[in-house]
Amino acid sequence: MLNRRQFVGTGLGALALAALGADKSKMRFAYSGTALFGAGIDPLGDTFNKTDQEMKDALKLCAKYGYQGVEPFREQMKRLGTDVPRLKSMLAESGLVMSTVSCGGDMVDPEKARVTIEDNFRFTRDILKPMGCQHLKINIGGLQRNPDGTPLDQLKAAARSCNELGKRVNEELGMKLGFHPHIWGTIENEHEMTTILELTDPRYVGLVPDTAHFVLAKMDPVKMLKDHWSRIVAIHLKDTDPKYRHWTGPTPTQAEHRAHNLYQPMGSGGVDFEAFFHVLREHNYSYWIDLDYDAPRKDEGTLEQQIATNTRYLRDKLKVDLKAA
């Protein structure tokens, strides 16, 4: 069995997946807790107000379409709770597991970064590991984004924080840390992402790419997947409008996102998913892939319609083995 250093060195290829105990023949698909449950972080200001029954119904819907897991945000855990037996029971009722929880915080300011590191480590130790999760995914927060990009001193500070957290998560818990580039965040574009990768130890820090965020930040998801394969920890999927396929303009703003959802159903045309999945299959990728969608807006139909649309594309176009309803 591979040790954790070998796991990182080989990426999530066939041998690494054997170490994880994952099914070599299948990718493992989760659906975003934000889509299933709603969240106070929604750009339209919606609040998290689901009842226990509504949450259970959403989980059953997720399982109905063949998904194996769910990936909530930390904000949603305030409503879901952190009672591990209760969480396991709620998920087990639908035959689901928790792939991970989307975490993060300020990794730049020295005092705030210390709090962020301790908070994320404790959460990983006390919740993620007991829930059976094998990686921690973080958004790297920090000072308000500079219009000219994140300065090198802040990138260095974020890298130091990632190294420290990743080392503890790896050596003390036997798990992997992956950071998540996100438009409007501290790590948005290719320069910022590759700088963090170069300044961090590959034994401790990896990458959780998101196809839509890469496209919107003028990155080619397929090229980035190939170039940084050895650092891939897990995958996030969503599409964008077709005009962004080879986008060279400025990153769309949050105001634009409020006016028109930047995150579109799979098959909308912004992301070359066929080429992306070709790379995944070349490397026999069989770890978690999260469809990281927000809850549908009022003009976008129901949650089930969103899930059904994405599932049809996965099954019919990408030939993914999901048991769709």
**Whole-number pLDDT of residue 19:** 36
Per-residue pLDDT at 152: 97
In angstroms, the CA 217 to CA 138 distance is 18
Neighbours of 9 (CB within 10 A): 13
- Please check whether residue 32 lies inside any domain of the structure: yes
pTM above 0.85, yes or no: yes
How many angstroms separate the first and last alpha carbons of the chain?
37
Looking at the domain assignment, is residue 1 inside a domain? Answer: no
Residue 4 in any domain: the answer is no
The rounded radius of gyration (Å) of the Cα atoms in the chain is: 18
Residue 322 within a domain: no
Domain ranges, residue 299: 9-317
What pLDDT does residue 296 have? 92
The number of domains in the chain is 1
For 33, phi then psi, to 5°, come to -65, -25
Cβ burial of 1 (10 Å; 0-12, 13-18, 19+) is exposed
Question: Do the domain assignments include residue 165?
Answer: yes
The CATH number of residue 116's host domain is: 3.20.20.150
**Which two three-digit tokens encode residue 259?**
């006016």
Residue 141 lies in a domain: yes
Region of 73 (left: φ > 0; alpha: ψ -120 to 50; beta: rest) is: beta
Q: How far apart are CA 211 and CA 270, in angstroms?
A: 9
**199 within some domain:** yes
**What single-letter amino acid sits at 97?**
V
Per-residue confidence of the chain (325 residues) as pLDDT tens digits? 334 334 444 444 333 333 333 334 479 999 999 999 875 444 444 555 678 888 899 999 999 999 999 999 998 888 888 999 999 999 999 999 999 999 999 999 999 999 999 999 999 999 999 999 999 999 999 988 988 999 999 999 999 999 999 999 999 999 999 999 999 999 999 999 999 999 999 999 999 999 999 999 999 999 999 999 999 999 999 999 999 999 999 999 999 999 999 999 999 999 999 999 999 999 999 899 999 999 999 899 999 999 999 999 999 999 998 864 3
pLDDT of residue 176: 98
The answer to whether position 62 is within a domain reads yes
pLDDT digit string (tens) for 84-96?
999 999 999 999 9
3-state secondary structure the chain: CCCHHHHHHHCCCHHHHHHHCCCCCCCEEEEEHHHHHCCCCCCCCCCCCCCHHHHHHHHHHHHHCCCCEEECEHHHHHHHCCCHHHHHHHHHCCCCEECCCEEEEECCCHHHHHHHHHHHHHHHHHHHCCCCCCEEEEEEECCCCCCCCCCHHHHHHHHHHHHHHHHHHHHHHCCEEEECCCCCCCCCCHHHHHHHHHHCCCCCEEECCEHHHHHHCCCCHHHHHHHCHHHECCEEECECCHHHCCCCCCCCCHHHHHHCCCCECCCCCCCCHHHHHHHHHHCCCCCEEEECCCCCCCCCCCHHHHHHHHHHHHHHHCCCCCCCC
Q: Which amino acid is at 252?
A: P
Polymer length in residues for the chain: 325
